[in-house]
Structure 1
Amino acid sequence: MISQSSQDGDVRKPQHVEINAIVLYITTFFQSTGASLIWPITTLYMHNVLHQSMTVAGIVVMGLSVTMMIGNWLGGKLFDHWNPFKALVISVGLALLTLLSLTFWNSWPVFAIFMLISGFADGLIYTLLNSYATTIQTIDTRKVFNLQYLFMNVGVVAGTAVVGFLFDYGVELVFGGAAVMYGVFFVLVLKFFNVKGLAKQSARAAEKAAKSTFKTPVVIYAILGLAFSFYMSYILWETVIATHMTDLGMTAKDYSFLWTLNGVIIIFGQGLLDRFIERLPVRWTVLGGSTLFALSFLILIQATTYPMFVFSFVILTIGEILSSPQIPAWIDDLSDPNAKGHAQGLLTMFVSLGRAIGPLYGGLLIDSGSYKLLFTSVFAIMFFFVLLTGLLSKRHVRN
């Protein structure tokens, strides 16, 4: 990045530089599509094909979330204190190399080792992409994250729609397809993410952060707790609720349709929300959406028929649309302007922590209690963080 000079020779402040928003959205789509080819079949492949117990499969999935957390933390550090472009190239390159290796070597325990490496690489990627998003100032931050979330979910719909078909013809096609998506992602990163001046801009911000007297608002920690409870609850739908539905006589196809419905509602809902999101206070979209999300689990307590599960999932999805993409925007708004990577790294760490603990927590409560106890406790945990965040956020309402 070159400083501009005025006619009288005075040197002006360097201009702000940022990633192109459209590029960010397109790369998010390809990354999300590739990742969505993997996560739906991870447990299924380990249990049904590699003949590992559900306990072993659960440990691997939990380990994947732990390595992702490490990547989340490191990604924030690299964005703030090193070179954002080089960090992203290495991260995507590692993910691509891992997927290519899985295409040819996917027996036990090689599969588990590669999945742990993949989790670490994706952890880096998620934080770095979010940190790149925070550089965009020509568009309202909330719209940036809203549209990024929309493209991510289009990728989820695309990936989950084809993974079943590919898996029927061999897991090699699944990993190969994911590698193709990450290959396109890698090319886009090489071509468009080396934003001139961004590394120097990050270095200057890191220097300012080191000297900064900025005090992190307490409400940020409450928001992190809310994000943790949000994703600890959300992952129950990807794990134990599937078993609960089949125990009640519903089919795997019934369960799969819920995710298709989830994707369709998100795509149309996010597009509609983007039109007037700037008029809605970020505090109320996050708190209102999280409240709806929590209430969906109260519905689950009494759910015994398929329409009740559909109703609960629709309420959950509406809550997700309102709150999930706005949480990183709210964190960005409240955090140190010179440590954006650190803030997004913390957030993605708490998201990964929730996804790691959720299945274990759900299994323990089901084994020692019941599904009703699990759903009641999840509602209570989420509602506690909604109330805590609401109380602490009154002094930090965004204008």
Structure 2
Amino acid sequence: MISQSSPDGDVHKPQHVEIKAIILYITTFFQSTGASLIWPITTLYMHNVLHQSMTISGVVVMGLSVTMMFGNWLGGRLFDRWSPYKAMTLSVGVALAILIMLTFWHSWPVFALFMLLIGFADGLIYTLVNAYATTIQSIDTRKVFNFQYLFMNVGVVAGTAIVGFLFDYGVQYVFGSAAIMYTVFFILVIKYFNIKGLAKQSAQAAARAAKSTFKTPTIIYAILGLAFAFYMSYMLWETVIATHMTDLGMTTKDYSFLWTLNGIIIIFGQGLLNRIIDRLPLRLTVLGGSTLFALSFLVLIQAKTYPMFIVSFVILTIGEIFASPQIPAWVDKLSDPTAKGHAQGLLTMFVSLGRAIGPLYGGLLIDGGSYKSLFASVFILMMFFVALTLILNIRHLKK
């Protein structure tokens, strides 16, 4: 909040400042498109082109997610205690510089080093974008995150559709295209994210947070655990399942098309969901969606043909539509109103932790067991956190 004075010196009621929602959505689209050009081919590029083992590839992707966690944590602190605009500009600028260098230098082990750095920069960006989203009070928070998620997935459709074709011509075209997307993202941040009064508003909120006696409800930790399990499982589709499909005789374009289909379903599904979102309780959308998401891995256990992979991914996508955009909204609703950046930073840290553990966990279970045991184990883990969150939510409502 920032206070305004009249010409006579009377202090008016503090005025809330926020980013324009449409600006947030457009920048989310360009960031998502750029990122979606990179992550679908990371494991494939290391394994098939740079000739690294699945375990090594898993370690690199895990390292990327670990550096992303540090970025998530730092992003929350910078938003609450420094300057949201300066933090955002610096983060996007660093990510853009790394992508430009990746376009020209992408051999081993330089590729791995740059991926760790891009993970850190994107970690900052994800938390800061979510924190900017929480400043919007003119629109219901659930709708803000829903529309942000919608634009993110339009970017996923665009990015994954392009990368399936660019990768065959050379990875330099992939990274060059990602750099172009981040260039537009950077320009938009410089032009529109310097919101007058936001830094002061964040500083005032941080001062109130230091004096706050708010006690974090236990259910938030269960939701964080659910987010961890959700994205650890999701990461398998971004890494080891790509190799699993090619081992079964399917192509990179087949795999890329799944993500395009994923984005198309989300775009239409999210549009329908936005019309009824106010009537659905958060616990229903998050826990129901997470259950569907978990069930998709039971289908995946038996998948040996491309249509079965499509069926599994469609079920997963429907679950994702309900759960994923509502998790940050639920955390925002339950968290300390004076520490929005911290709450979103904590959530994105658990998301990144899931992304960090997923590839390594998948690689270890495949090397020491089988794909079936891997898919069964993540189903059990997901359902454990669904049950735990449900129980703690009942207790929380009683209080």
Q: Is the 8 A contact 2:161 2:257 kept in 1?
A: no
- Give the corresponding residue for 1:223: 223
Structure 1 residues 392, 92: closer, same or farther in 2, change over 3 A?
same
| 1:188-239 CA-partner distances (Å, limit 9, x unpaired) | 1111101111000000000000000000010000000000000111111122
User: Shift of the alpha carbon at 1:104?
Assistant: 2.2
Offset of 1:181 from its aligned partner?
Answer: 0.8
8 A Cα contact 1:235 1:359, kept in partner: yes
Q: Residues 287-329 of structure 1: CA distance to partner in whole angstroms, max 9, x if unpaired? A: 1100111111122223333333222211111000000000000
Report the equivalent of 1:169.
Answer: 169
Q: Residue 68 of structure 2 aligns to which amino acid in structure 1?
A: M
Q: Report the Cα offset of residue 378 of structure 1.
A: 0.9
Matched, 1:3 2:8: no
Q: Matched residues in 2 for 1:306 and 1:110: separation?
A: 35
Aligned to 2:356: 356
Corresponding residue number in structure 1 for 2:160: 160
* Aligned residue in 2 for 1:258: 258
Per-residue CA deviation, residues 317-348 of structure 1 (Å, 9 max, x unaligned), is 10000000000000000000011111101111
| 3-state SS, counterpart of residue 221 of structure 1 | helix
| Equivalent-residue separation in structure 1 for 2:109 and 2:365 (angstroms) | 29
Q: Distance in 2 between matches of 1:314 and 1:374?
A: 20
Query: Which secondary structure state, in structure 2, belongs to the residue aligned with residue 275 of structure 1?
Result: helix
Answer whether contact 2:80 2:203 (CA < 8 A) is retained. yes
1:396 to 1:190, Cα distance in 2 relative to 1, 3 A: farther
Q: CA deviation at 1:397?
A: 5.5
Task: Indicate conservation of the 8 Å contact 1:95/1:118, yes or no.
Answer: yes
SS of equivalent residue, structure 1 residue 235: helix
1:3 to partner: Cα distance: 2.5
CA distance in 1, matches of 2:51, 2:271: 42
Kindly provide the CA deviation profile for residues 21-54 of structure 1, in whole angstroms up to 9, marking residues without a partner as x.
Answer: 0000000000011111111222233333333333
How many residue pairs end up in the alignment? 398
Identity of aligned residues (%): 81
Q: Could you tell me how far 1:251 is from its partner in structure 2?
A: 4.0
* Shift of residue 112, structure 1, vs aligned partner: 1.7
* 1:52 aligned onto 2:52: yes
User: Do the aligned partners of residues 64 and 200 (structure 1) sit closer, same or farther apart at CA in structure 2, a change above 3 Å counting?
Assistant: same
> TM-score, length-normalised on structure 2?
0.95
**How far 1:144 sits from its partner (Å)?**
0.3
Cα shift at 1:249: 4.2
**Paired amino acid for 1:137:** Q
Matched, 1:243 2:243: yes
Cα distance change, pair 327–306 in 1 and its aligned pair in 2 (3 A): same
| Residues 382 and 155 of structure 1: CA distance in aligned 2, closer, same or farther (over 3 Å) | same
- Output the CA distance in 2 between the equivalents of 1:351 and 1:286: 15
The residue number in structure 2 matching 1:123 is 123
Contact kept, 8 Å, 1:283 with 1:397, in 2: the verdict is: no
Gaps of 5+ in 2: none
Aligned equivalents of 2:3, 2:356: Cα separation in 1 = 46
* Cα distance in 2 between the residues matched to 1:183 and 1:251: 31
Distance 1:23 1:77 in 2: 23
Equivalent-residue separation in structure 1 for 2:172 and 2:240 (angstroms): 27
Q: CA deviation at 1:396?
A: 4.6
Paired amino acid for 2:342? H
TM-score by length of 1: 0.95
Question: In the alignment, what sits opposite 1:307?
Answer: 307
Indicate the SS of the match to 2:106: coil
Aligned-pair CA distance for 1:362:
1.6
Structure 1 outlier segments of 4+, above 6 Å: none
Matches within 5 A, 1:1-399: 3-5=3-5, 9-396=9-396
Instruction: Structure 1 unaligned segments of length 5 or more: list them.
Output: none
Structure 1 window deviating more from structure 2 (152-161 vs 304-313): it is 304-313
Quickly say closer, same or farther: Cα 1:397–1:283, change in 2 above 3 A.
farther
RMSD of Structure 2 on Structure 1 (CA) = 1.8
